[in-house]
Structure 1
Amino acid sequence: MKNTLILAASLAAIALGGCSKKDETPTVATDVAPDVAASDPMAGATATPAASPAQAFADAAATSDMFEIETSKLAATQAGAAKVKTFAEQMIKAHTESTAKLKIAASAASPAITPMPSMTAMQQQTLADLQGKSGADFDKAYAAAQVDAHQMTLDALKAYAASGEAASLKSFAGGMVPTVTAHLNMAKAL
């Protein structure tokens, strides 16, 4: 079961990104469980001892928020459609709030956890690809990235809410399911 949670969290980290402070620079993940690294060529460059499932989930959720915010910031200057810009503004606000809730839930875990967002190579590549697009090309690529990211996050949240080990993080995950479902539906409509 722990391997399943680590895998779910890792998959979410691969597809998603978390929130960062404005002065932080997104980084590439290198802290990956050995069993995940063996099955995931996109995982970090070096494998270190496996984090607890709660830490892995918190990191994946934070990474998800980071990815959503960083890609959505690009929409302010590169999106062509007003509805894409509006969606992006909503994502920045919502994922900033999600990060704050995650930090509270993680600090309430026993032992306390500090989420450590770290974009994967795939997320970095998606971000770089979006930086090279504008107008309708950006809108299409951004919408696809948002659908993929929100679907992976939704799957990870549902998995942790069902069988996670830290009660505060399980509550956070379950509470975020309706919000992420709404975001996924909005992204599909872009």
Structure 2
Amino acid sequence: MTNKQLLILGIAPLLALGACGGNTDSPGVDNGMETSMSTGNAMADDRAMMNDGAGNAMAAAAMTGQDFADTVAASDAYEIAAGKLAQAKATSAGLKAFGAEMVAAHTQSTDKLKAAAGKASPAITPAPALTAEQQAHLQALQAATGTAFDTEYKAQQVAAHAQALAAVRGYAARGDVESLRAFAREAEGMIAKHDDAIRGM
């Protein structure tokens, strides 16, 4: 596979993330992980992907301000919806609390994103639409019960935060809208904190 193909494959899921605006009604995702063992392998694969050429391509790709705003908006929308499901369905107290934190933090992130996008010239309006992948993930969470829900939610969160970190780090370094670059720099700390927390559970 060529570097160009890797770049396209790496960016597609990020662009798909795109468009929340706080819409939490979209349902969500089957990532094909059927057992705890395969879930663990998938999480390890996700981590490896972020550290190899494809992950680097995803982080290094230059997104426009609109692309970035859409990506973050959709990511926030997914996190809010998944967090609400975790509050209701997780068997682990830690995951319930993490879900509540995701709802609060990503609602605040959406507000900050809109403010930063509004400072662009011309102003940017984040497009609130979940990707097909995010919708499938939410559907998988809605279908899962008991400890299977916990396993599914954690695996999704590890992958989602790795993608989000790549997006904000890449845009903070190479973005074309200064107000959104400032937002990306601020968001990186929040996302890294969440990433550490979910990996530690």
TM > 0.5: yes
SS at match of 1:152: helix
Give the counterpart of 1:116 among 104, 109, 127. Answer: 127
Change over 3 Å in CA distance of 1:88–1:156 after alignment to 2: same
Give the counterpart of 1:128 among 139, 145, 148. Answer: 139
Deviation at 1:175, TM superposition (A): 1.0
Size of the aligned set, in residue pairs, is 162
Matched, 1:56 2:58: no
Q: Which amino acid aligns with 2:124?
A: I
User: Equivalents in 1 of 2:18, 2:196: separation in Å?
Assistant: 16
TM-score after normalising by structure 2: 0.73
Which structure's relative contact order is higher, taking Cα pairs within 8 Å and 6+ residues apart?
2
Deviation at 1:166, TM superposition (A): 0.4
Alpha carbons 2:141, 2:149 under 8 Å: kept: yes
Give the counterpart of 2:160 among 149, 162, 180. Answer: 149
Matched, 1:69 2:89: no
Alpha carbons 1:150, 1:184 under 8 Å: kept: yes
Q: Which has the higher helix share?
A: 2
Change over 3 Å in CA distance of 1:184–1:75 after alignment to 2: same
Unpaired stretches in structure 1, ≥5 consecutive residues: 29-51
Unpaired stretches in structure 2, ≥5 consecutive residues: 1-6, 29-62
Change over 3 Å in CA distance of 1:154–1:139 after alignment to 2: same
Q: Which amino acid aligns with 1:187?
A: I
Deviation at 1:11, TM superposition (A): 3.2
Deviation at 1:56, TM superposition (A): 0.7
**RMSD, aligned CA:** 2.5
Alpha carbons 2:87, 2:96 under 8 Å: kept: yes
Deviation at 1:26, TM superposition (A): 2.9
Give the counterpart of 2:185 among 161, 174, 186. Answer: 174
Change over 3 Å in CA distance of 1:60–1:173 after alignment to 2: same
User: Equivalents in 1 of 2:21, 2:152: separation in Å?
Assistant: 20
Change over 3 Å in CA distance of 1:177–1:123 after alignment to 2: same
Alpha carbons 1:13, 1:64 under 8 Å: kept: no
